Amino acid sequence: MKLTVLIAPSGFKGSIGAQRVADLIAEGVVRGLPDASVIKAPLVDGGEGFTEAIADATGGTLHEVTVTGPVAHPVASFFGILGGAGPRTAIIEMAAAAGLSLVPADMRDPTVTTSYGVGELIAAALDHDVDRILLGCGDSGINDGGAGMAQALGVRLVDGDGESIGFGGAQLARLDRIDLSGRDPRLDDVTIDAAVNWHNVLLGQRGVARVFGPQKGATPRQVEQLEAALENYAAKILAETGLDMAYLPGSGASGGLGTGLVALLGGNLHPRYDIVMQYLELDRLIARADLVITAEGCLDGQTPYGKIPSEVARRAKQFDLPVVVLAGTIGKGVTENFDHGIDAFASILKRPGSLDDAIADTDRLLVQAAEDCIRMVGVGVTLSQSNEHRAAQSSSSSAVNISRVGRHADFTPDDEK
């Protein structure tokens, strides 16, 4: 049995990156089906790994820099410069300066975490005389609407006494006025294109505070505090710029960073896969495959709203290909994925255990799950081939019987002539 298997996974957040996930799944596939032809296409969605993936795909370079992290401590960070022809383009992933992985577990409080370091990354890119900035949004540990980012680039956010507000989403409740006069003038000469989750909006029941605040450590009371602060932020932006950001698609990306990018820096938001796939060429690889295996740390009812497995499935279905997902965990609402192109899924966990144990054992679990998956696929292919063979035999037998009936039908006894 010869199958071409495309492996197009996301990384497992807090564990291993997309490239490693792809390598491990490939190892399991080959164990279970040695004759398989494997194509690996590790994917990013704007979060962790975005800069390196795009830089690698274009022959670009990485540049190290120290910035202010989400809890206002210095962190080692980086940005990239795109390779190839075209405008000189910097690549930035906001997670490298304000990602959840940079927030210690005992300090996860999105009322105080800041995106200031993202602004410092943008400034560092501007120091390299770029014409364009490509910014990936995802895996954030902040909920400040991009306010810190704007502050790092000279935008003043002041309270009723004319004093600058502090860092963090809760401080936006004090915001009285936005002063753009000191904004870095170099921003006027660059294009900022941000790859965002188009489903994320700033306010409301599907807004960043209510949907993602708890994931970043917010208590129910803090969620409502953040929502009210962001409502004030949106109102002051509307008064200063005339832009209504409350429900703009992508405005809630990365804790509302999308709002700050558009309203305070003059950036442009794009559905993230429209940006990513320009460089990773997934559709070309899908066209060569018989089966697609993708993967995600958690598969649940949120997956259809901009996560990598759903996007892979959507594209694979344009080629009528089956899609299987291997997930670290299976969450609430997971069956909704069947309506979005995913044909089957399985957790890599085979028995109850702690999260720390699962993370430590991820490599082995992924290889075994991939081998189990491809063996089951092999059983299905064998059954299909067996059924086709029996059908062909049945058809051949029927043809012989019909032929025999036909010869007898041509014979007419003498007494009936």
Averaged pLDDT for residues 133-140: 95
- Of 113, 216, 219, 233, the closest CA to residue 172 belongs to 233
- The whole-angstrom separation of Cα 196 and Cα 334 is 23
Cβ 255 vs Cβ 208: under 8 Å? yes
Q: In this structure, what token pair is assigned to residue 90?
A: 């910097």
Which are the contacts of 354, defined by CB distance < 8 A and separation ≥ 6?
none
% pLDDT > 70, the chain: 92
The whole-number pLDDT of residue 217 equals: 94
Task: Summarize the chain as % helix, strand, coil (round to 5).
Answer: 45, 20, 35
Averaged pLDDT for residues 298-315: 92
Q: In this structure, what token pair is assigned to residue 329?
A: 């965990």
- Of 173, 132, 152, the closest CA to residue 70 belongs to 152
pLDDT band at 382 (very low <50, low <70, confident <90, very high): confident
- DSSP string for residues in 272-341: HHHHHHHHH-HHHHHTT-SEEEEEEEEESTTTTTT-HHHHHHHHHHTTT--EEEEEEEE-TTGGGGGGGT
The whole-number pLDDT of residue 85 equals: 85
| Location of structure tokens 């993708």 | 294
Paired strand residues for 270: 195
Averaged pLDDT for residues 322-342: 94
Look at 60-69, 210-219, 277-286, 405-414 and tell me which has the smallest mean pLDDT: 405-414
- DSSP string for residues in 334-383: GGGGGGGT--EEEES--S---HHHHHHTHHHHHHHHHHHHHHHHHHHHHH
List the chain domain ranges.
4-43+300-376, 50-275
pLDDT in tens, 144-182: 999 999 999 999 999 999 999 999 999 999 999 999 999
The whole-number pLDDT of residue 398 equals: 52
The whole-number pLDDT of residue 387 equals: 72
The whole-number pLDDT of residue 378 equals: 84
User: Residue 71: pLDDT above 50?
Assistant: yes
Averaged pLDDT for residues 121-147: 97
Averaged pLDDT for residues 205-230: 96
pLDDT band at 320 (very low <50, low <70, confident <90, very high): very high
Averaged pLDDT for residues 111-123: 98
Averaged pLDDT for residues 202-207: 96
Averaged pLDDT for residues 281-300: 93
Q: Residue type at 359? A: I
Give the neighbor-by-neighbor strand order of the sheet with 74-81. Answer: 61-68, 74-81, 89-93, 132-136, 191-196, 268-271
The whole-number pLDDT of residue 238 equals: 98
Mean pLDDT for the chain overall: 90
Residue 132: Cβ-neighbour burial (10 angstroms; 0-12, 13-18, 19+): middle
pLDDT in tens, 394-403: 665 554 454 4
Does this chain's domain 4-43+300-376 share its CATH topology with 50-275? no
Cα–Cα distances in Å, from 295 out to 25, 221, 251, 352, 398? 9, 34, 27, 20, 46
User: Residue 415: pLDDT above 60?
Assistant: no
The model's pTM: 0.81
The whole-number pLDDT of residue 257 equals: 98
- The whole-angstrom separation of Cα 119 and Cα 145 is 13
- What sign for the dihedral angle of Cα 299, 305, 306, 309? positive
* 4-43+300-376 CATH: 3.40.50.10350
Q: How many CA atoms lie within 13 A of 347 on its CB side?
A: 13
Averaged pLDDT for residues 356-373: 88
Look at 321-330, 340-349, 393-402 and tell me which has the smallest mean pLDDT: 393-402
pLDDT band at 404 (very low <50, low <70, confident <90, very high): very low
pLDDT in tens, 33-65: 999 999 999 998 889 889 998 998 899 999 999
- What sign for the dihedral angle of Cα 268, 269, 274, 280? positive
Q: In this structure, what token pair is assigned to residue 278?
A: 């320009």
Q: In this structure, what token pair is assigned to residue 181?
A: 């006069």
- The whole-angstrom separation of Cα 142 and Cα 213 is 9
- The whole-angstrom separation of Cα 167 and Cα 165 is 7
Cβ 18 vs Cβ 48: under 8 Å? no
Residue 173: Cβ-neighbour burial (10 angstroms; 0-12, 13-18, 19+): middle
Q: Is 173 helix (H, G, I), strand (E, B) or coil?
A: helix
Cβ 118 vs Cβ 257: under 8 Å? yes
Give me the CATH topology for the region 50-275.
Glycerate kinase, domain 2 (3.90.1510)
User: Residue 413: pLDDT above 50?
Assistant: no
